Structure 1
Amino acid sequence: MRRPRIFGAAILAVATVAFSVLLIGGTTTAASAMPACGVQEGGASAAAVNLVNNACTKIGVPYSWGGGHAGSGPGETYGICDPSNGAPNDCHVKGFDCSGFSRWAYWAATGSDLLGATAAGQYSILTNRGFPNIAPANVRAGDYLFYGSSAGNIHHVAIALGGGYIVEALESGTLIHVSTSYAGHGDLYASKRPLP
């Protein structure tokens, strides 16, 4: 006796639902493995803890290419539509790019708009002001991590939370989030401690 086709369709539907639940469960588990935004280990100064706490208030704000630099001072702004940089719609997205986010966090913690530049420019500013590079083993919460192949090719900046975690504005289509220091970044160039 032939089984009705509906039986085969029902099995396929159940398998699809089970697979979807497995995928969703896997994604939820991976996302929940990240800690909540905040200082993850001791040793940071009170000023650095303040910087991290300010940065963490922006969790969930959209990434926007050029965002955080278009206004008269630090803060969320509409970005730049630039398809060549993977940002075809960012002039319609209010938020931060990586350097706009690190600029705002420093300003919110200190009241100084010292870092009004790209990630590479921020590295140069801190270097020219005598802030030494910090060895990876000595990175603490509040330190700035710069990614690129050389000082002239820095393409990303993130803020350390300690314990190997960072908070970052990564790329168009994402939100500011907690990640690991090396997730998606195999090119950590240098770390700077902008606050004592």
Structure 2
Amino acid sequence: MGLVIGVVCVALLGLVTVVGVVASQEKAAAATTDGGEGLQGVPEEYLTWILKADADCAEPEMTPALLAAQLYQESGFNADSTSSAGAQGPAQFTPDTWATWGRDSDGNGTASPTDIGDAVIAQGHFMCSLIKQAKSSSYPGDVRALALAGYNAGWGAVERFQGVPPKSYSGGQTYNYVQAIMANMARFQGPGLLQVSGHGAGPDALRKAATRLGTPYSWGGGGPGGPSTGFCDGTNGYLNGKCAASSTVGFDCSGLTQYAYWPAVKLPRTAAEQYGSTSDHPVSRTDLQPGDLLFWAHGSSIYHVALYAGDGNILEAPRTGENVKLASITSAMPAGDYYGATRP
């Protein structure tokens, strides 16, 4: 059967049946990741960045709920928040700390503590570093509490008291800060949307991709390093007549699958290329396992790839204007376009 190489997933009209995802019509959306480390009650514009900041950190103590509770304590999710000490933005970075951790993570050309993407990624990287420091310190107590204390008062204060500073320190500010965030994590802890059991290339790829649920679709966006802005090619990447991809940080279908498998399996970039590189390991529809790649095509021209998520569902980056989500195999794309499945 002939194969057209180089086609990235195209935008198609139609409805997608979403399985298990409940998107709030208000700004506080209820998004979740896998393994019970979900997220709920967070403003929509923070979702992608919190999930990315969590995924960037290999420390298991880091969770989306921890970051969300900290943002709530710092600013109430107010990007314009300022303090008398000169701290700015949703994560309340002071100029000195921002100089160390601030980056242009949202790709808008400016690294700013008031940009949600920049601030949340910097918060996550800073907290991840503090968690590592707390674990190596052997100080007593929850390493998350130690990291939070370091974020609020500086690691020097944690070293001074060899733990979270007591109520008597600085009027109890740091002590109360830590207590409030630790107590509030449950408020933002959502149920696990996708339970992934087992290990190996497929389950591990699916587990990794599940951390990106809720990330926007961006034509040509994403890759091994995570979501990124995409591009418009004259036909694809547009929304309401405007090029959405060039200003949307996210994934297209093959960007997501490449990210999921990297670096264990270094898939090429496009859906067609991914089929070509894995077609020597075909899988019948009755033998699908979590993490298998599923492909759709117009004739022999492959235009879409997704990860099998179990129970007849896939995890996919579907089309411009939508987000990474779970969907039914039978309704995600036109049934007649189903091309086959492979196991990388």
- Structure 2 length-normalised TM: 0.41
Matches within 5 A, 1:28-67: 31-32=21-22, 36-39=193-196, 46-67=200-221
In structure 2, C-alpha distance between the alignment counterparts of 1:182 and 1:47, rounded to whole Å? 25
Matched, 1:158 2:312: no
Matched, 1:98 2:250: no
In structure 2, C-alpha distance between the alignment counterparts of 1:118 and 1:74, rounded to whole Å? 16
Matches within 5 A, 1:62-81: 62-69=216-223, 73-81=224-232
In structure 2, C-alpha distance between the alignment counterparts of 1:147 and 1:28, rounded to whole Å? 18
Matched, 1:175 2:323: yes
Q: 1:138 aligns with which of 252, 274, 287?
A: 287
Deviation at 1:38, TM superposition (A): 3.5
146 and 93 in structure 1: CA distance in 2 versus 1, 3 angstrom threshold: same
In structure 1, C-alpha distance between the alignment counterparts of 2:219 and 2:273, rounded to whole Å? 16
78 and 164 in structure 1: CA distance in 2 versus 1, 3 angstrom threshold: same
47 and 31 in structure 1: CA distance in 2 versus 1, 3 angstrom threshold: closer
Deviation at 1:30, TM superposition (A): 8.0
Alpha-carbon displacement from aligned partner over 1:25-54 (angstroms, at most 9, x marks no partner)? xx999855xx92343xx7x65332211110
Matches within 5 A, 1:81-96: 81-82=232-233, 84-87=235-238, 88-96=243-251
Deviation at 1:184, TM superposition (A): 3.4
Provide the aligned length of Structure 1 versus Structure 2: 153
161 and 154 in structure 1: CA distance in 2 versus 1, 3 angstrom threshold: same
In structure 2, C-alpha distance between the alignment counterparts of 1:189 and 1:120, rounded to whole Å? 11
In structure 1, C-alpha distance between the alignment counterparts of 2:303 and 2:208, rounded to whole Å? 23
- Structure 1 length-normalised TM: 0.69
Say if 1:62 and 1:94, in contact at 8 Å, map to a contact too.
yes
Question: Taking every aligned residue pair, what percent have the same amino acid on both sides?
Answer: 34
61 and 67 in structure 1: CA distance in 2 versus 1, 3 angstrom threshold: same
Partner amino acid for 1:163?
A: D
Partner amino acid for 2:209?
A: A
Alpha-carbon displacement from aligned partner over 1:133-166 (angstroms, at most 9, x marks no partner)? 111011111100011144x411000000111011
30 and 45 in structure 1: CA distance in 2 versus 1, 3 angstrom threshold: closer
In structure 2, C-alpha distance between the alignment counterparts of 1:168 and 1:62, rounded to whole Å? 11
Say if 2:283 and 2:341, in contact at 8 Å, map to a contact too.
yes
Matched, 1:148 2:302: no
Say if 1:74 and 1:103, in contact at 8 Å, map to a contact too.
no
Partner amino acid for 1:96?
A: F
Where 2:193 maps in the other structure, the secondary structure is coil
Structure 2 unaligned residues grouped into runs of 5+:
1-16, 23-191
In structure 2, C-alpha distance between the alignment counterparts of 1:122 and 1:53, rounded to whole Å? 19
Partner amino acid for 2:193?
A: A
Partner amino acid for 1:123?
A: Y
Say if 1:38 and 1:56, in contact at 8 Å, map to a contact too.
no
Structure 1 unaligned residues grouped into runs of 5+:
1-26
Alpha-carbon displacement from aligned partner over 1:80-117 (angstroms, at most 9, x marks no partner)? 03451252211000111000000000105x1x4x2132
Matched, 1:119 2:306: no
Say if 1:62 and 1:95, in contact at 8 Å, map to a contact too.
yes
66 and 55 in structure 1: CA distance in 2 versus 1, 3 angstrom threshold: same
Deviation at 1:76, TM superposition (A): 1.2
Partner amino acid for 1:98?
A: C
